[in-house]
């Protein structure tokens, strides 16, 4: 049987794309592996990221490694797909003749055709999971219409396109039948779901339908754009027990000057009001956000407003990035990158120092509480699990001594939190 190695870089949306492609390759008779260190596959496909500088460099480095392997005769065919290829295919072709072909993030029929895999819709809901068997991502739409000033995603992925609800529900049912218990709903903006197909936002309806699927126990919502956040989504999160009390909502900034410059389409007051509504209706919700510092024109006053926002809201999960120009975006074309790199890095570190203090205080409040935990793995003397307040791969973990009894991966257990660190919790198995 032919063996093919699909290497996936970048975000969870890329993961889903690769999993769909791998199902098509298996239908064509390939044996599929997904480990960048495998050397026994003679065909390699690299699904790249082209979003920010570090991710682009990681993709380039991986392509160079594979190209060298091909030149040395270790692999026979090499294909590059995804976001980096969408943005820079011409440049990459000129520099890397070892690559057999490049296909963009919107050209899945091209790579399928090149490898002799089915191109039609009959396999649209099939996946070859690369995550642990008990959780998976469900990508409900492609692209984005917001065109924030710093973001290249609309240039790479195009405008917002929703996946029909019937197709998503069929895909989710197949995932549940295969053992998936936790489903992460993802898109560039999940709250915009349905507006292109149905003339209105239908995320709340989709979430309710997903809750009806037997076998799914946790449903988690990621990448919710704050502008125009649907009130009915707050209602369904408050009322459906299967939906985790967790929301990934990237605010990026809070200063009205910066929000306007970033083209974020909401104000500081509206952001605070949305958070008030979320925490009023869902008192135990864990909020994850992403912030961007050093955007053109960010003053010390703007940054102080952002620090105060972090102090006020006390996000349970927070990431922060320093601005870097992305060619073709509004900020790269129209604004001057006028914040020095060392100032950007100082601001990143200042926010993360503050967030470490907040995270520890939040975690200490959980000591003594007992909650439902799903087990992801065993590492040495500990089982590694998560509560509904933590998403896999990006959030903190709960470490439970293995000496307390056997626990099975993908199963739920009551766990009592006994101690806390800045980004981890320690627990012990409790009585059911």
Task: Determine the Cα–Cα distance for residues 280 and 402; give it in Å rounded to an integer.
Answer: 38
Spatial separation of the C-alpha atoms in residues 341 and 126, rounded to whole Å: 45
Q: pLDDT (tens digit, 0 to 9) for every residue of the chain, 432 residues total?
A: 589 999 999 899 999 999 999 999 999 999 999 976 777 899 999 999 987 778 888 999 999 999 999 999 999 999 999 999 988 888 989 999 999 999 988 778 899 999 999 888 889 999 999 999 999 999 999 999 999 999 999 999 999 999 999 999 999 999 999 999 999 999 999 999 999 999 999 999 999 999 999 999 999 999 999 999 999 999 999 999 999 999 999 999 999 999 999 999 999 999 999 999 999 999 999 999 999 999 999 999 999 999 999 999 999 999 999 999 998 999 999 999 999 999 999 999 999 999 999 999 999 999 999 999 999 999 999 999 999 999 999 999 999 999 989 999 999 999 999 999 999 999 999 987
Q: Yes or no: say if 106 and 17 are a contact pair by the CB < 8 Å rule.
A: no
The fold for domain 2-122 equals Rossmann fold (3.40.50)
Fold of 125-364: pyruvate-formate lyase- activating enzyme (3.80.30)
| Common-topology check for domains 2-122 and 370-429 | no
- 396, 389, 391: which is closest to 372 by C-alpha? 389
Domain limits, the chain: 2-122, 125-364, 370-429
Name the fold adopted by 370-429. Answer: OB fold (Dihydrolipoamide Acetyltransferase, E2P) (2.40.50)
Please, which residues have CB within 8 angstroms of residue 166's CB and are 6 or more apart in sequence?
none
Q: Return the closest-CA partner of residue 103 out of 95, 94, 113.
A: 113
Give Dmax over CA atoms of the chain in angstroms.
Answer: 63
């Amino acid at each position: 049987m032919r063996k093919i190695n699909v290497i996936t870089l970048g975000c969870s949306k890329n993961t889903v794309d690769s999993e769909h492609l791998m199902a098509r390759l298996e239908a064509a008779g390939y044996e599929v592996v997904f480990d960048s260190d495998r050397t026994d596959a003679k065909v390699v496909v690299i699904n790249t990221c082209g979003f920010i500088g570090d991710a682009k460099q990681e993709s380039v480095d991986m392509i160079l490694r594979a190209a060298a392997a091909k030149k040395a005769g270790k692999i026979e065919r090499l294909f590059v797909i995804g976001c980096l290829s969408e943005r820079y295919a011409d440049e990459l072709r000129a520099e890397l003749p070892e690559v057999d072909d490049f296909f963009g993030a919107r050209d899945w029929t091209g790579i399928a055709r090149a490898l002799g895999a089915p191109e039609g819709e009959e396999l649209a809901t099939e996946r070859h999971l690369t995550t642990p068997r008990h959780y998976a991502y469900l990508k409900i739409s492609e692209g984005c219409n917001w065109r924030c000033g710093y973001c290249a995603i609309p240039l790479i992925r195009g405008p917002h396109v929703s996946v029909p609800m019937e197709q998503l529900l069929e895909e989710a049912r197949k995932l549940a039948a295969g053992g998936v218990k936790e489903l992460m709903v993802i898109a560039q903006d999940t709250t915009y779901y349905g507006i292109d197909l149905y003339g209105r936002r239908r995320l709340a309806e989709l979430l309710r339908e997903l809750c009806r699927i037997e076998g799914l126990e946790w449903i988690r919502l990621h990448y919710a754009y704050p502008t125009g956040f649907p009130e009915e989504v707050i209602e369904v999160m408050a009322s459906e027990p299967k939906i985790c009390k967790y929301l990934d909502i990237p605010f990026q900034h809070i200063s009205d000057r910066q929000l306007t410059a970033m083209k974020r389409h909401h104000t500081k007051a509206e952001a605070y009001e949305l958070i008030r509504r979320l925490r009023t209706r869902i008192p135990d919700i864990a909020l994850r956000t992403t912030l961007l510092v050093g955007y053109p024109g960010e003053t010390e006053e703007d940054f102080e407003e952002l620090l105060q926002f972090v102090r006020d809201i006390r996000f349970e999960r927070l990431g922060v990035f320093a601005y870097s120009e992305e060619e073709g975006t509004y900020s790269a074309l129209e604004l001057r990158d006028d914040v020095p790199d060392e100032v950007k890095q100082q601001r990143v570190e200042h926010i993360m120092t503050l967030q470490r203090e907040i995270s520890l205080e939040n975690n200490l409040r959980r000591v003594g509480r007992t909650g439902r935990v799903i087990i992801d793995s065993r590492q040495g003397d500990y089982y590694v699990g998560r509560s509904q307040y933590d998403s896999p791969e990006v959030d903190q973990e709960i470490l439970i001594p293995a000496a307390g009894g056997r626990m099975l991966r993908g199963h739920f257990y009551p766990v009592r939190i006994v101690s806390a660190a800045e980004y981890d919790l320690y627990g012990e198995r409790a009585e059911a």
